[in-house]
Amino acid sequence: MFDIESAYQRALTFEVISFDIFDTVLLRKVLNPTDIFQVLSETHAEFGSDFKKRRELSEKLSRIKNKQKYGNYEVTFSDIYAEIGMKSSNEFEVEKKFIQRNSEIYDLITRLRLAGKTIIFITDIYFSSDEIEMLLEEAGVAKPDHLFVSSELKLSKGIGDIYPHVLKQLKIAGRQILHIGDNEHSDVKMAKQYGIASILYPEKRGRVIARKKHLTNLAKYDIYGSIISGILANDSEFEMQRKEDYWRNLGFGVAGPLYAGFLSWLDEQFEKDKIECSLFVSRDGYLVKKYYDLYFGKVKTQYFYQSRKVVGQLLAEFDFDMYIANLMRQNRISLNEALDSFELFEINNIPESDFVRRNGRKYVDQKSIQKNLPKFLKENQEAIRNFYKERNYTYFSYLEETIDKSKKTAFIDVGWHGTQQKQTSLLTAMPFTGYVLALHPWAADPSNIRGYVYDANHMNEGFHTIHQSIEVFELLFSAPDNSLLGLNRTTEGFVPYFVNDDEFANLHREIVLQIDRGIGEFLKEIMPLISNFNRRLPSNVALAMAHETLFFPEDIDLEILGKHTHNPNPGKGKAITLIPEISIRGHRTTHIFWRVGYLKKLQKNTNFIASHLLLFIEYLKIWKNIGFRRGLEILTRRLKRQIKKLASKYRKGEPV
């Protein structure tokens, strides 16, 4: 196991420290180095869709020809492109764009320089030394004291003949130099043949892939997948998966790709539909607006204060039946909680009524409540309207002054049913064009709303991913503020006020800020890379990391994401946990993984036999749904993991 501090201490005993460059000092923002060739196909039409294959073949052929002519396999850019039959190439410019320094190796080099060590770089590559220096400069890495490049020397680490050349040039013995690189053959085995000590640096992307194997599959079927995987694999915080970085990593690795795709799609749709201005609905549209303005900003945008709670209050005056439907649509909360979320307990006769006293603890979705609640609300219709009258006047004024009916306006929301857009159109007599992350096929009026992942006109597997836990996606598309309760009019304009729940609000704010940090850092990496692509990021690729997190969670997901609470209901609604509820709600196979995760935590509070009996019952449920073979694979994998943990504890003398 590579340890940076141990490598530093060992390096202090040598005079010269040598480093491999690619995948050690420098990292590419693609999972596989040759995927750079596919990027050229995406950004330069003249290269054609088959350029990657032609480029790989040309390099092989030019190496064979050089071996026959000069006795070595080392080639230059000129050799390769002469074989392709092209005079020039944009490949080096793409390489510059996709290169970054490896932070942990950079820090090691910096410390060794301060310790007075001589730093040299040795690389097997077709670039010239001048091009290597430009790449190092682009990545923010200072030039080494000496640079040895195979394409110029016609010597290589792979063959091993470059090592005696280095020793001769530096006038040192093998025992005076330590070499660090990622290739076991070139950087370790061949170096040792010439008496040079070496340290195998485990490839950074390999360490992440060992934990998140699906990154390899993601990279195989789309160049966007390779870029996303490369960015994730290169990120130190994402690699370490510390609990304190969990929400940032969720933003970086799960929400980041989704935002990149959604934003690019929005820009494309705005241009296609000739949108003149856009309303980003509060909370759901907070981060979307922030990053649309930062990376695109071609259309005038406005953060539009709205919530189901506020619209519900307006509907009490204009369409009381729809107001009732809004109140009754709340999920998994009692009648008391539903009425309180719409502040109806502040109307004197409602909390004391016989209907509320008898049914207050019953859930809103129970048949008896669904049947009798509309009648009860209509009996109190006048009192409810009077209660909302002043705040409704303020909000209606806000609508009148905010929305420019002379311009073609977009309505941006996270999506699901299209209810908010429909209700806002009803209240303002304004035909918005809606754009959402996803729109359920049973949406209220799907004709003028489009979804990035799916909508009524293009359903796909993304539906199952989002439906796995809608609450998780609502958290990823949220704002630091709590739920909007209404607006006050002051001399400075309209000022929002929110649900007053300090403990929940402070926790929610901190989580959203961490998710925002992760999204921002991911977009900063990917947006410059894909700005010239001739097609947008496919929604299935953008959604892939979310799919893996929800369907195949790691222990850290079970522990942190699974325990988090979220309020899917308007106003002061009850906060619920994101994951356990879906286990109860659907009983689909994938939910059992989350249930098993929770049962594992019971081991801390119950005896060994009882907790493992519960686990065994859950695995039987998996077998029932997905078959014996798959169930046995899952159980075997988990048992192996458990045995390794027990063996490790035993070796350390810890109680098992």
Domain of residue 412, CATH code: 3.40.50
Residue 656 lies in a domain: no
Residue 166 lies in a domain: yes
Residue 518 lies in a domain: no
Q: Is the domain of 85 the same as that of 189?
A: yes
Nearest to 26 by CA among 118, 112, 131: 131
Residues of the chain with pLDDT under 50: 580-606, 622, 626, 656
| CATH number, residue 49 | 3.40.50.1000
To the question of pTM greater than 0.85 for the whole model, the response is no
Q: Is the domain of 400 the same as that of 368?
A: no
Q: Is the domain of 36 the same as that of 122?
A: yes
Q: Is the domain of 265 the same as that of 182?
A: no
Last residue of a domain, one of 365, 387, 409: 387
Polymer length of the chain? 656
Q: Is the domain of 345 the same as that of 432?
A: no
Question: What value does the mean pLDDT of the chain take?
Answer: 85
544, 548, 549, 555 alpha-carbon torsion, rounded to 10°: -150
Q: Is the domain of 471 the same as that of 329?
A: no
481 burial type by CB count under 10 A (0-12 exposed, 13-18 middle, 19+ buried): middle
Residue 519 lies in a domain: no
pLDDT in tens, 43-99: 888 888 889 999 999 999 999 999 998 889 999 988 999 998 886 678 999 999 999
- In the prediction, which pLDDT does 241 show? 81
Q: Is the domain of 480 the same as that of 622?
A: no
CA–CA dist 360, 354 (Å, integer): 10
Name the β-bridge partners of 497.
Answer: 486
pLDDT in tens, 632-654: 665 666 666 666 666 666 566 66
Q: Is the domain of 62 the same as that of 196?
A: yes
Last residue of a domain, one of 366, 387, 408: 387
For the chain, the domain total comes to 5
CA–CA dist 56, 607 (Å, integer): 58
- Structure tokens belonging to residue 285: 């549209």
CB 619 within 8 A of CB 632: no
Q: Is the domain of 532 the same as that of 556?
A: no
CB 10 within 8 A of CB 17: no
Q: Is the domain of 411 the same as that of 486?
A: yes
Q: Is the domain of 38 the same as that of 16?
A: yes
Range of the domain at 489: 259-307+395-502+525-537
Last residue of a domain, one of 334, 366, 387: 387
pLDDT in tens, 562-599: 767 665 555 555 555 555 433 333 333 334 444 444 44
Residue 567 lies in a domain: yes
- In the prediction, which pLDDT does 583 show? 37
Residue 254 lies in a domain: no
Q: Is the domain of 407 the same as that of 350?
A: no
Residue 509 lies in a domain: no
Residue 543 lies in a domain: no
